[in-house]
Amino acid sequence: MIEQHNSLAEKFIKKWFWLYLFSFIVAPIWYIIKIVLSTDLAVDEIWIIYGVMSLMVLVSSFNDLWMAESLNKFIPEYITKNRYDKVKSILFYAIFAQAITWSIIFLLFFFWADFLWNHYFHDIKSVNIVKIFSFFFLWSTFFHVINVFFQAIQNTFLQKITELFRMFFILSFTLYMFFSNIWTMFYYSLSWILGLYFGIIIAIIYFYRKYYLVYLKDVKIIYSKQLFLSIFKYALIVFLWSQASTLLSQVDMQMIIYILWNTDAGYYTNYLSIIWIPFVIIWPIFSFLFPVFSELVAKEEHNKIKLIKSIFIKNFLSFSITFSILFLVFWEIISTILFWDKFLQSGIILQYSILFLSFNFLLQINFNILAANWKVKERLKIILVALFVNTILNLIFIKLIWVSGAALATWFGWVLIWFLSELKLKEYHTSFDYKYLLKNISIFTLIWSGMYLFIIPLFSVINNRIYEFLFLAFISLIYFWIYAYVNLADFKYFYKEIRKIKTWWNGKIEYIWDTP
């Protein structure tokens, strides 16, 4: 079921390839869907759709006490022992636990839709949207279990291609609504449900044919209290961490809803889509870190972890600063190209946090090291502190500078999380290469001045959304080629060290899993 004949290095390279390939395919689909919706719907209507989805995300963390994530922990272990009865049992436990919470939460959303619009969304149009997405929540959790199973057995191809199919069908139905002139929140929301149904059907077919018939059909489910409790105990620890993380990711949006209004939340929703663009590029790289750090912790090769941390910090600091400068120049162009002039405010919000993007990259590195050392409680404490501080700052800043205050509070949270994680990782402390940073900041600040003076005025001459997009893509390509040339020597060193990392994997460990 897991490719145990391959070395860990071979498997992980393949895994990284599929993660990157499908990430670059799926990410544009998300943006195309949002561009279509932003074109046809009002700002407050955009918020209703994504606000309902945000609420679903918040509630979904309570869905199964994180039992599904236990699949990542236990399934690889039992597969290597050829205990497929336990694999089938864990799947049954996860689905059974979710079946109860699925039903309860679905019924609450469906029958409390009137209560939510009156006391939370403040817009009667949200009633039908809540009911539609209650079905989306119901079936997306089932899709999630199958997807996590594919992840647990390290089949990242199936994990990502089923997600691709789901997004492809959502996009297809969205475009159908668009070209059929059915420009309403109801029908656009319906496209999400229809796309999900097709994604589930494909995922079930893959699972049934490739794994259930071959490995699980003839084994019996074990009704073991001890097995269930061991899974539940692990899930509970992860659940506490995930709860705090989910709340932290949603606190800014919830504060905007509480203090301001739906239109303001609509601007903030599209701001989040813009600031997520650099993460599309770097997220698969960060997923590369955890198994590397876990391997080195097991071998007690802590100096190598410090080396990896040092080279990642050096390269990703320069990358994040370069990306931030580009966004700081073209914030108005980016927001209007993606979401039209009515979402110009989303670009204005971007200016309040984009220069602090580096701290988010830094904290991702630290949290991977904490995860590799199984310091779940430390991560939980950090997130809880950040959650408290971020809530207070949101209350203050939103009152002072409107919706942009939420972005300002967010970057304070990034800095705080990075700082606290550094304190928890004193044994892995590394110093910054200030000369390298100063070189990049100086060069690209000079380029920023040139682009601001000579490139920005050209967009007013073009005055065509498609041509503006192509011109921006061309400018960005040249910009990052300059960045690559300026840092060529450091990239060569980075690549050389990554190749060394591969040689540390000797294939003795035949399975890995990700820890949230």
Cα–Cα distance measured from residue 225 to residue 238, given in angstroms and rounded to the nearest whole number: 20
Stretch 384-398: mean pLDDT: 87
504 has pLDDT over 60:
no
CA nearest neighbour of 2 among 186, 158, 191, 236: 158
> Helix or strand or coil: residue 223?
coil
290-317 burial, b at 16+ Cβ within 10 Å, e below that, comes to bbbbbbbbeeeeeebbbbbbbbbbbbbb
- Contact indicator for 163, 83 with CB cutoff of 8 Å: no
- Contact indicator for 347, 407 with CB cutoff of 8 Å: no
- The most confident of the ranges 133-147, 250-264, 275-289 is 133-147
158-203 residue pLDDT tens: 888 888 899 899 999 999 988 888 778 888 888 988 998 999 999 9
Domain ranges of the chain: 1-223, 245-502
Q: What is the pLDDT of residue 61?
A: 62
Q: What is the pLDDT of residue 245?
A: 58
5 has pLDDT over 50:
no
Contacts of 461 (CB under 8 A, 6+ apart): none
Q: What is the largest CA-CA distance in the chain?
A: 71
348-377 residue pLDDT tens: 888 888 888 888 888 888 888 887 777 767
* Residue in this structure with the two tokens 């995930």, named with its chain if needed: 242
What mean pLDDT is reported for the chain? 79
Cα–Cα distance measured from residue 99 to residue 106, given in angstroms and rounded to the nearest whole number: 10
Cα–Cα distance measured from residue 7 to residue 507, given in angstroms and rounded to the nearest whole number: 4
Q: What is the pLDDT of residue 205?
A: 92
> Helix or strand or coil: residue 4?
coil
Q: What is the pLDDT of residue 169?
A: 92
Q: Residue 430 phi/psi, 5° resolution?
A: -130, 150
HEC string for 309-349: HHHHHHHHHHHHHHHHHHHHHHHHHHHHHHHCHHHHHHHHH
Q: What is the pLDDT of residue 225?
A: 77
21-78 residue pLDDT tens: 777 777 788 888 888 888 888 887 887 888 788 777 777 666 656 666 667 667 777 8
CA distances from 153 to 157, 435, 512 (A): 11, 44, 9
228-277 residue pLDDT tens: 777 777 666 666 555 555 666 677 877 787 787 777 888 888 888 888 88
Q: What is the pLDDT of residue 81?
A: 78
* Residue in this structure with the two tokens 């040249």, named with its chain if needed: 478
H or E element in which residue 500 lies: helix 488-504
Going by pLDDT thresholds of 50, 70 and 90, the confidence category of residue 292 is low
Percent of the chain whose pLDDT exceeds 90:
4
497 has pLDDT over 80:
no
87 has pLDDT over 80:
yes
Q: For CA atoms 312, 315, 318, 323, give the dihedral sign.
A: negative
Distance in angstroms between the alpha carbons of the first and the last residue of the chain: 23
423 has pLDDT over 80:
yes
502 has pLDDT over 60:
no
Higher pLDDT, 503 or 196: 196
For the record, the structure tokens of 257 come out as 């809803």
**Which amino acid type is present at position 349?**
I
- Contact indicator for 344, 335 with CB cutoff of 8 Å: yes
Cα–Cα distance measured from residue 113 to residue 129, given in angstroms and rounded to the nearest whole number: 9
Contacts of 130 (CB under 8 A, 6+ apart): 52, 109, 110, 113, 116, 117, 121
What does 150-219 look like in DSSP terms, one character per residue? HHHTT-HHHHHHHHHHHHHHHHHHHHHHHHTT--SHHHHHHHHHHHHHHHHHHHHHHHIIIIIIIIITTS
Burial class (CB within 10 angstroms; exposed 0-12, middle 13-18, buried 19+) of 471: middle
Report the predicted TM-score, pTM, of the whole model to 2 decimal places: 0.70
How many other CB atoms sit within 10 Å of the CB of residue 133?
A: 23
Percent of the chain whose pLDDT exceeds 70:
82
